[in-house]
Amino acid sequence: MSREMVDVQLEPSVLDPNVPLLKVRDLDVQFATGTGVVRAVRGANLTLYPGQSLAIVGESGSGKSTTAHAIINLLPGTGKVTGGSIEFEGNELVGASEKTFVGIRGSQIGLVPQDPMTNLNPVWSIGYQVRETLLANGFTGSRREANARVAELLAEAGLPDAARRAKQFPHEFSGGMRQRALIAIGLAARPKLLIADEPTSALDVTVQRTILDHLETLTAELGTAVLFITHDLGLAAERASQLVVMYRGQVVESGPALKILQDPQHPYTQRLVAAAPSLASRRIQSAKERGQRPEELKAVTGGDGVDRSRGELLRVEHLTKEFEIRGAAKGSNTFKAVDDVSFTVTRGTTMALVGESGSGKSTVANIMLNLLQPTEGTIYFEGQNLHGLGRKAEFAFRRRVQPIFQNPYGSLDPMYSIFRTLEEPLRVHHIGNSKTREARVRELLEMVAMPASTMRRFPNELSGGQRQRVAVARALALSPEVIVCDEAVSALDVLVQAQILTLLNDLQAELGLTYLFITHDLAVVRQIADEVCVMQAGRIVESATTDEVFDNPRQEYTRELLAAIPGASLDVFGSGPAA
Amino acid sequence: MPEPTNPLARPEQDHFFASLDSAVLGDVDVVDESAAPTSLWQDAWRELRHRVLFWASAAIILLVIVVAVAPQLFTSVDPQYCLLSDSLGAPGPGHPFGFDKLGCDVYARVIYGARASVAVGVLTTLIVTLLGATVGAVAGAYGGWFDSLLSRVTDIFFAIPLVLAAVTVMSIFRSSRTILTVVLVLGVFGWPQIARITRGAVMSVKNAEFVTAAKALGVSKPATIVKHLIPNALAPIIVTATVSLGTFIVAEATLSFLGIGLPPNVVSWGHDISQAQRQLRTMPSLIFYPSGALALTVLGFIMMGDAVRDALDPKARKR
């Protein structure tokens, strides 16, 4: 590889591979809050050698990002390192001066931040922002040389036509391209360590995979050590040789990645490995396996296939939705978000619509909920055409189809107590009196395994998973037949996600619910869905039962999606990747 | 793709796991049943209780309101009973602030003047809040041409200085000025600010998923505005209303000072300030009392607005 030669000449590596590059010992980090001191990190240890890759895995609030930020002294707000040591190349960083950190950041330790949408300054060109990093880290060449170097770095990060692209501004870049630019910035000064904080969690899976592949190749060539921060165990194990699992501020398990996956020792890691959808989907269908016991569940979900005799509940025919593009000339510019989509959903089963952002899956969901009118096409609900329902019939229809949304923080009215939230549907549809309504609210909370005392609380007191349970309870309030889950578990931590999926599955068995499950996450599909429609750019490209799609994908795009599931290529349990 | 250059574990990278005693495993996502439930308002109250600013402004506002409702409690002197023989008389027993040019008791006039100020301030704020919040909420919720129209109207009203417009319009009512006319005129020109704030607040919540969820439940649009959008926009509305209450009191005083606000038979601070201004050189203390009372009242409301804003600030609240 010629580029490797050039880079090695640029900065010959003098690091001894047997001396730790980064050594964190008994690290304590505290945050002062209004209600007292929060110990965000407690006694964390980790060791990283030159050129190695290590991933810190944990759910939100586990202290994984805090640990990484403590290393480069970028703790937010009132955060402070209160104990332990951080040694970088043998130099103690705890208590070092701000000047030391300015010298280290960028040139010794690079950072690829989490959100590509907000981490580039929108008023400066991409090239300017890369050049800024170069100049801040002692680049001494002329302006022309700097520009040439910027183009080189961007090209290296995988941006095509880099010299021209460098003149563009962040809003002209897609999410993936921005993340490449951020990688170029992170690696601009050839740091010995790159901290990648959830580098791709905001991106589509296929984009995520190409970027991580590229990052892996690049850092291997440059001999850069990488510290990944991620919530995704599959991704961590696939991209890093060493894992550090954090839970509530503590390191509960650490060691070689494969060893941890195959033989997790700490109960938390065991839970995590069992719940990780990307890993689990390789071998179990958790939802159904649990359901093997009661006979009726098998009858409801129709076992592995779909029992057509239960009758179709929903039929969608030639659905098309066009949006007018704002500011475009009249009549000329419409955007087809959904293009000739047809499918049927059998009663009591789960149909998953899978696709990346912009595939039109959420538009389909909104049309199903009767929140949007289709441009063309018809939806039959129990044989009844949904289009052109009268006001009264539409109101009645609302009772039968209910949504669950993605964002647990946005889906509950912050001004409503949980009781009011759950009572609202009953009140709107004039069901029962105040006494029976309260009984129903209690019953609903019980269904989603929440204590009845929750009803006096407000959404801001509940965690994300708890709010999502309330959202499920609200959707169930009117005893609907169909629930449209629009990315209903995508914003949740893995363990919570597994819980909610189990809950949804149990409720399906109990109440005979039909789910339309909209998601970008194929791994989740395997756990919950009976049938799958894969959408790309508004069209359904593949439609089959879940097993067929996973074991025998017919379309190239589906294969790509499957291969992009983080951890899909891992051979943890002795079953190779399907694609 | 090349394998990472390093093989597996090196020194200090062995498989480690914490003992269960040191890292106790909790249940996933349990509800804490011990803590007391809190709403936005309870949280705000808890926050306010610890603020000096809040208690100071509350004391001022309470005092002003008591004075406005029951001035007899503070003085037994009739502010309209004036003897020219007392003109510009010095303070004496029973007349702590002395007398003005017409021989009226200054202390009594300051006490009785509170009523006009508070009445104009409170009534105008009520009208402005109702009008502004309705216009703003409708514009924000419906959008489209309706929003454009309402927003342009708001802009036009916004561009006209409140006092200038009031001066112009008040001159029409030269002969029949009452508290009500002042309130109406100030109200008509004062609502755009609240309308803007409400529109912004409504627009920021109207795409929230709980609004979509309400729609999917079959809640009608007007009901959604009343039940979900306005309650969520209430915090900024209250803050703006509290602060603008102070500015309306100032506006009333300005109009009365110019002689086109409240009629002379209504005791008002603005009127007294304008009268006292003529004795600025001979007896400067005369202007001090009504303007001091005015400043204190306005300060009280503006400080209250600030305190409430801090308490309701969503960024300061726990998520």
pLDDT in tens, A257-280: 888 888 898 888 988 888 876 655
pLDDT for A328 equals 53
Contact A267 B20 (CB under 8 A): yes
Comparing A250-264, B233-247, B300-314, which segment has the lowest mean pLDDT?
B300-314
Q: What percent of chain A has pLDDT over 90?
A: 23
Nearest to A190 by CA among A145, A232, A228, A156: A156
Rounded to whole angstroms, the Cα distance separating A531 from A333 reads 34
Q: What is the mean pLDDT of residues B133-160?
A: 87
Q: What is the mean pLDDT of residues B280-289?
A: 81
Q: How far is CA A414 from CA A237, A421, A536, B259, in A?
A: 38, 10, 35, 48
pLDDT for A576 equals 39
Rounded to whole angstroms, the Cα distance separating B52 from B58 reads 10
Please give the interface size between A and B, counted as residue pairs whose CB atoms are below 8 Å apart. 173
Distance from CA of B21 to the nearest CA of A (A): 11
Contact B17 A253 (CB under 8 A): yes
Span A499-508, pLDDT tens digits: 888 888 888 8
Task: Identify the residue with better confidence: A27 or A387.
Answer: A27
Q: What is the mean pLDDT of residues A277-303?
A: 44
The total of other beta-carbon atoms located within 10 Å of residue A503's CB is 17
Type and span of the H or E element at A315: strand A312-324
pLDDT tier at A4 (50, 70, 90 boundaries)? very low
Nearest to A288 by CA among A454, A569, A466, A508: A508
- Asked if residue B34 has pLDDT above 90, the reply is no
Which of B13, B231, B232 is closest, CB to CB, to A47? B13
Q: What is the mean pLDDT of residues B144-163?
A: 85
pLDDT for A299 equals 39
Q: What percent of chain A has pLDDT over 70?
A: 88
Q: What is the mean pLDDT of residues A156-167?
A: 86
* Set of chain A residues whose Cβ sits within 8 Å of the Cβ of B318: 460
Q: What is the mean pLDDT of residues A397-409?
A: 87
- Asked if residue A282 has pLDDT above 70, the reply is no
Q: What is the mean pLDDT of residues B238-267?
A: 84
Contact A413 B232 (CB under 8 A): yes
- Asked if residue A296 has pLDDT above 50, the reply is no
Which of B10, B39, B214 is closest, CB to CB, to A49? B10
The total of other beta-carbon atoms located within 10 Å of residue A258's CB is 15
Q: How far is CA A576 from CA A282, A521, A569, in A?
A: 8, 20, 7
Closest chain A residue to B2 measured between Cα atoms?
A: A217
pLDDT for B48 equals 82
Structural domains of chain B, ranges and CATH numbers in brackets? 50-318 (1.10.3720.10)
Comparing A178-187, A227-236, A299-308, A385-394, which segment has the lowest mean pLDDT?
A299-308
Q: B229 with B206: CB under 8 angstroms? A: yes
pLDDT for B316 equals 47
* Set of chain A residues whose Cβ sits within 8 Å of the Cβ of B215: 371
Contact A401 B216 (CB under 8 A): yes
pLDDT for A454 equals 84
Residue window 12-51, chain B: list those with CB within 8 Å of chain A.
12-18, 20, 22-23, 25-26, 28-29, 31, 33, 35, 37-40
Distance from CA of A142 to the nearest CA of B (A): 35
